[in-house]
Amino acid sequence: MTAEEVPDDHPRHGSLVTRHRIEEGVEKGITSKQGLVAQGRGEALDYLLGEETVPAAERAERTAVARTLLADHAVVSVNGNVAALCPQEAVSLAEAVGADIEVNIFHRTRERLEAIAEHLREHGADEADVALRGLEADARIPDLSSERAKVDRDGIYSADVVVVPLEDGDRAEALDAMGKDEIVVDLNPLSRSAQTATVPVVDNVVRAFPRMTEYAETLASASDDELREIVDSFDADEALHDAERRIREGFGDGDTR
């Protein structure tokens, strides 16, 4: 069965489609086998969140977009899981907020980089007004030993805001040390990446990216002062705390589904 063949009325439709996309990603050489493990962890947490965007994540998504619209140079970092799960949504988001896309992967081979770039092109990166980066790898993130340290000088290296979905904690910390503002999309509010983020978005990337693109459209006419007000009034610790409480305690009295 492929992702497209999962019946619409299946009670676990969303989750099954996601699994199939990741499986297809592995088969196409886009996603690493390690990506399957990350997917499993994400699924478990999403289950506990009720597989919906919780209010704290909504606030974070709006703030993330405001911060990105204020950026001098924003980059959306795309790895093998994100490319498999939501390539078109990543392109749409980057276009809506005026960001570049940079392919950045842990298990780095030239073939995988090319396959991900090609997959993104097949999903609109060519037609969109978006620079596709990550193939130059002519700069390094300091103090990071993994292959993920390799970045484009005109991309992540020089960006002031980086959107990092499904990030590993080491790189999130290294980007933070470079003084970058990070928008982390991660279903685990306890991960080092989420804890390091300027704006932690505790949501499934397949829901977060389209919603962020919608916010980009509604905030497109906002002034810089209005955008700054949104960013300044956001409390990252509170957002993480709210998401963690939802995972641990489920839907309390004050919560609505």
185 binds ligand ATP (CB under 6 A): yes
d(CA 82, CA 47): 19
94 vs 108: CA distance, rounded Å: 23
Interaction between residue 188 and ligand ATP (CB under 6 A): yes
Q: Which residues contact 4 (CB under 8 A, 6 or more apart)?
A: none
If binding is defined by CB under 6 A, does position 169 make contact with ligand ATP? yes
Q: Are 140 and 171 in contact (CB under 8 A)?
A: no
Among 45, 101, 105, 231, contact with ligand ATP (rule: CB under 6 A):
45
Helix (H) or strand (E) holding 13, with range, is helix 13-27
Q: How far is the CB of 37 from ligand ATP (least distance, A)?
A: 7
| Residue 14 exposed, middle or buried by CB count within 10 Å (0-12, 13-18, 19+) | middle
The footprint of ligand ATP on residues 73-92 (CB under 6 A) is 85
19 or 133: CB nearest ligand ATP: 19
Assess contact for 89 and 209: CB atoms under 8 A.
yes
The reply on whether position 53 binds ligand ATP by CB under 6 A is: no
Residue 4 and residue 24 in contact, taking contact as beta carbons nearer than 8 Å: no
Candidate residues 31, 32, 39, 92; the one interacting with ligand ATP per rule CB under 6 A: 39
* Contact between 211 and ligand ATP per CB under 6 A: no
Q: Which is nearer to ligand ATP, 117 or 185 (CB)?
A: 185
**Residue whose CB is nearest to ligand ATP in the complex, by number:** 42
CA distance 225 to 103: 32
How is residue 38 written in tokens?
A: 């990350």
Instruction: Determine if residue 93 is labeled as part of a ligand binding site.
Output: no
DSSP state of 122: I
If the CB atoms of residues 101 and 243 are measured against ligand ATP, the closer one turns out to be 243
Of the candidates 187, 230, 239, 247, which one interacts with ligand ATP according to CB under 6 A? Answer: 187
Residue with tokens 């002034």: 223
To the question of whether residue 112 is assigned a binding role by annotation, the answer is no
Q: How far is the CB of 220 from ligand ATP (least distance, A)?
A: 25
Catalog residues that contact ligand ATP under the rule CB under 6 A: 38-39, 41-42, 45, 85, 166, 168-169, 185-188, 191-193, 204-206
Binding-site positions for ATP: 19, 41, 186-188, 192-193, 204-205
